[in-house]
Structures are given as structure tokens and as C-alpha cells.
Amino acid sequence: MDESRYRDKSYLVTYDLTTDIFDGFGVEVIDIIPIRSVYMLYTDKGVKILKRINYPLDELKFINSVVNSIKKDGYDFVVPFMETPNGQYYVKQGEGIYVMLDMIEGREVDFRNVFDIQSAAKALCMLHKSTRGVSDILDTRNNLYKWVDTFKRRIDDLYKFKEIAELHEIKSSFDDIYLSYFDSYFDEARESVKALEDSSYIKLCDEAKENTNICHHDLAYHNILMDSENNIHFVDFDYCIADIRLHDIANLIVKSIKHYRWDIDKALLIIQNYSEIDEITKEELEVLYGFLLFPHDFYEVSRQYYMKTKKWDESDFSSKIGRKAGYYEDRKEFLKNFRLKLI
């Protein structure tokens, strides 16, 4: 059995898989296969993805509006929700709300592959350009002007986690690693706030507010697919938000290089290829540097551990924070080179 297919089984079991759902979408299901937190369905109308949403209906409507706006503007490589026979784009079943989408024939991008990175960067720029003008932004999906305050709250969290770790009489392996690297990452977090405060962050937010820019907000490799004609498809807009485009660019850079020794050349490749379509300005690079300075991965795994938001084994947590600590020097060198080469 492929265990990776069932790694989100605690969420998969919340699905109420009855024929009422399939009838609601007007499909006859031949076979069902779990993949991550969704089900792949072989149906009489082709291969589909069934997803149970875990956010309010007004946010689903916002996401539907974003995806349809992108397609209407000419970027065709996003997947809209499938329409039901009665003209809806979701089905309610029990306490759940479900959507269905076409399955994209393609492969996940490989961040080790230069061509894939170049293609993803250019496609991301085209995606961003296609989101301009999206209206009716929900407050819960509007992230403009918020990053400085968000980082400050997370800095407070990091200090609270330190206090928790120090209170443990018998410290775990996670505690030991966290405390060993706390000062270094804590300093970087504070530097990131100063970098944003000293930059044109507010000005860029003002401009984004006027033109509306939507960020995908979850640019993991499995959400970026390449088809047989080398077109890049973006999937899973569950976390999309209104924000300056640099948030997504920083996200793509970190996702692309964090497992590959924080390669500055790959980061430059993303910036150069994105800029071929719509230039990233000098003042934007200063804001981008502020985003990259914040130790997002170290913060996130620490939050999951000390706030118990994930039910992983102790060994899994220790392994994860060990990897974050293991690339500290590479990350530090990357940040130094980024500043020297681009700012």
C-alpha cells in the first residue's frame, strides 16, 4: 500500500461519501482513489477531484470568483469548480460542502529542474497579471498592510515558545534544538520587521489596493503542474488572498531552494524570469528581502509543536526542526548574497 496516499487519512474520514454527492454533481463514479486530502474519481465524465472544503461558504464563493476571473482574463491554466446540473458549483451533504474539479493531466514541477523553475516563475507572473481587478475582496481574505503586525505577533510567539521550552524540567530533543537556534532565528525575525518598516511596503500595498492583486499563497510543488505541452497549471486556490505579489514570489523562492542548500542562483532565476514579463523593481526587491528574512519554516514547525496543532510523533517533530536548523548556515549565506547582489 502507498502510505503517502493516506497521509491525510484523519481528514479523509470526514468525507461523507454517499451516492447523493455524486448524483448532486451528475456523475456516475466507477472508482475512487484517495490522494492527500482529496479523492480522485474515475467517472463517466472523465477523471475528477472531489474535495471537502474546510472554510465558510462565503470564502468558497470568493475563490470561485477569483478562479473564474483569472480564466476570463485569459490565463487558461487554472481549474474552475465543476458546475452541477442545477447550476451550482458545490454540493451540500450532511455537515459538509463538496466541490468537484477536472483532474489535470500533468506532472508536479521539479524544483531541481531549471526549466521547471523558469516556467513556474513566468507562469506566476501571468497568473498575477490575470488577477488584477478582482472585486469584492473579503476581509478574511485581505492580507494587505498586515505583514509587519503578523511578524511582530509571531516574534512574540517565538519568545513564548522559548519560555515553554525552558520550563520543561526534562527537555525533549525538539526543546534542545529550538533553544540552541532561538537567538539566531529570533534576531532574523526582528530584522525582517525592520526591513519591511524601512522599505516601500506600505506604498506597494497602496498600489495593490488600487489594482487588486491576488496571491495563490500555497506554491508547493504539488500545486504547480506541467502538462505535456509544458504549460504550467496552478491548482488548489484554497488559501488565495489579496496581497502584494512579492508574497507569492518569496513563497516560490523559499519552496524552490530550501531543500537545495538555499541556492542563490535559483532565486535569481525566479526573479529574472518573472521580470521578463513584468519587472520586479528595486523597491520591491527590498520588500522581498524583508519577507525572505523572516524564518517562516522555523516558526511554523515550532508553532505546530508548542501549540500542538499537529498530531505528529515526537521523532517527526525532532526530525523536522533538525532539518530547519541544519540549513541555518546555508540560509544565512543566501540572505547575505541576496542583499549584496540585488539591493
DSSP 234: E
Q: How many domains does the chain have?
A: 2
Residue 119: what are its φ and ψ, rounded to 5°? Answer: -65, -45
- Here the cell at position 151 is 511578524
Edge-to-edge order in the sheet of strand 107-108: 107-108, 224-226, 232-234
202 with 129, same domain? yes
pLDDT score of 8: 58
61 with 131, same domain? no
CATH number of the CATH domain containing 87: 3.30.200.20
- In this predicted structure, the answer to whether residue 105 has a pLDDT above a threshold of 80 is yes
- Here the cell at position 186 is 529570533
Q: How far apart are CA 199 and CA 148, in angstroms?
A: 11
- Would you say 225 and 232 are in contact if contact means Cβ atoms under 8 Å apart? yes
Q: Hey, is 168 helix, strand or coil?
A: coil
Q: What angle do CA 275, 228, 249 make, to 5 degrees?
A: 25
pLDDT band at 188 (very low <50, low <70, confident <90, very high): very high
What mean pLDDT do residues 130-150 have?
A: 93
36 with 161, same domain? no
Q: Which residues contact 73 (CB under 8 A, 6 or more apart)?
A: 129, 130, 131, 132, 133
pLDDT band at 6 (very low <50, low <70, confident <90, very high): very low
Q: What is the pLDDT of residues 20-66, one digit of tens each?
A: 999 999 999 999 999 888 999 999 999 999 999 999 999 999 999 99
11 with 143, same domain? no
154 with 283, same domain? yes
pLDDT higher at 132 or 251: 251
Q: How far apart are CA 71 and CA 102, in angstroms?
A: 15
Question: Residue 187 corresponds to which amino acid?
Answer: D
20 with 99, same domain? yes
120 with 90, same domain? no
252 with 309, same domain? yes
Q: Is 109 domain-assigned?
A: no
Q: Mark residue 228 as left, alpha or beta (left: phi above 0; alpha: psi -120 to 50; beta: remaining).
A: alpha
Distance linking the first and last C-alpha atoms of the chain:
50
Q: Is 108 domain-assigned?
A: no
**What one-character-per-residue DSSP string does 12-47 give?**
HTT----HHHHHHHT--EEEEEEETTEEEEEETTEE
124 with 175, same domain? yes
Of 302, 293, 280, the C-alpha closest to 332 is 293
Q: How far apart are CA 107 and CA 141, in angstroms?
A: 29
What mean pLDDT do residues 170-197 have?
A: 98
Measured over the CA atoms of residue 249, residue 191, residue 327 and residue 342, the dihedral's sign is positive
Q: What is the pLDDT of residues 226-281, one digit of tens each?
A: 999 999 999 999 999 999 999 999 999 999 999 899 999 999 999 999 999 999 99
- Here the cell at position 250 is 518569496
36 with 86, same domain? yes
91 is in which domain, residue-wise? 3-103
Q: Hey, is 268 helix, strand or coil?
A: helix
Q: Is 263 domain-assigned?
A: yes
